[in-house]
Amino acid sequence: MGEEFYAILKLVSGEEIFSLIVVDNENDDDTVIVLQNPVIMWSVVSPGGTFIKVKPWMELPDEDIFIIRLDKVITMTESNDKKLINLYNHYINDEEPVYKENGLMKPNYEMGYISSVEEARKNLEKVFKLNKET
């Protein structure tokens, strides 16, 4: 078995899959790809912006590992896109959604979000009162 990596696969069925994969070519006659938690991602454009929707590749199985033969793949490309990988991991780990229900992105520390307006106001009032007393 090879190394794990994130990849986008285009299958002969027309499906495009994003997954953490391993290529198993121990048996040269029948190379297989092991998919871990494969998902389908697509872009939705609306007046509010562009969004990425995510859903499982197969909805009914309880399994998270799938094996497909290499002859079912048209093309495969490794993905190093951190946004796609983070979105995938948030979805797979059932973490809190990156986006609110109205489609707006929740601010986080990486975006410069330090506190809410209310918390910032209270902190500034404390600083102002301390400076006023001295």
Domain ranges of the chain: 5-133
Chain centroid offset of residue 104 CA: 16
* pLDDT at 49 (0 to 100): 78
Per DSSP, the three-state class of 103 is coil
Number of neighbouring beta carbons within 10 Å of residue 18? 25
Q: What is the pTM of this model?
A: 0.65
Q: Which residues in the chain land under pLDDT 70?
A: 1, 28, 95-111, 133-134
Q: What is the dihedral of CA 80, 56, 93, 32, to 10 degrees?
A: -60
Task: Identify the pLDDT of residue 21.
Answer: 94
Contact 4, 22 (CB under 8 A): yes
Q: What is the second-level CATH architecture of the domain 5-133?
A: Roll (2.30)
What's the token pair of residue 19?
A: 């997954």
pLDDT value at position 109?
A: 67
| Residues 14, 11: Cα–Cα separation, whole Å | 5
Integer CA distances (angstroms), 100 to 14, 89, 97, 105, 110, in order: 31, 17, 7, 6, 17
